[in-house]
Amino acid sequence: MGNFNFTKTEIDGVYIIEQRVFGDNRGYFMETYEEKQFAENGITNKFVQDNQSKSVKGVLRGLHFQKTHPQAKLVRVIKGAVYDVAVDLRKDSPTYGKYTGVVLTEENKKQFFIPRGFAHGFLVLSDEAEFCYKCDDFYHPEDEGGLMWNDETIGIEWPLDGIEEIKLSDKDRKNPAFGSFSF
């Protein structure tokens, strides 16, 4: 038996991943990635870049993607809690334009695998959150794209209880609606 449990979501290729946590009175240890076990579950991406961000409650980052250099991402929270979403942008997919989401916390230690061809974003639910993600392609600033976080066509049900204000970057305020964007 491996140290990971891979749960398929309603969108093909997107997984919620839970790992075994070994703990005692000193703390805990866990693997967050192991190439062989991921490959056995169909995730064969070679990760080339690790990123980390820190945000305060109500910050919404996204919905981001790269147009011609798409990135698969393996994401997790090491402090706090976020609601993380993936929006299917694969035109030939039966779930094109649909989303799936999961709450990631430092307590549940879940990870979310988002394959290439998706927009990605998250909303910070705790007072503060530190978010880590692995990417399988490098960031290309000239290639970035975004979608409006509250686009009615996508219809993401963001958990807004306790969130007084959505805090967006200037760039994310200008993201277009799903229906007006072409890839």
The domain spans of the chain are: 46-108+116-180
Instruction: List, by residue number, the catalytic residues.
Output: 64, 133
> 170 by DSSP, 3-state: which?
helix
Q: Taking residues 28-36, what's their average pLDDT?
A: 96
Strands 15-19 and 4-8: antiparallel
CB atoms within 10 A of CB 162: 9
Q: Which CA distances in Å does 92 have to 96, 117, 132, 181?
A: 7, 11, 30, 16
Residue 179's pLDDT band (cuts 50, 70, 90): confident
181 pLDDT more than 90: no
CATH fold of 46-108+116-180 reads Jelly Rolls (2.60.120)
Tokens 């209880």 appear where?
Answer: 161
Burial of 21 (0-12, 13-18, 19+ CB in 10 A): exposed
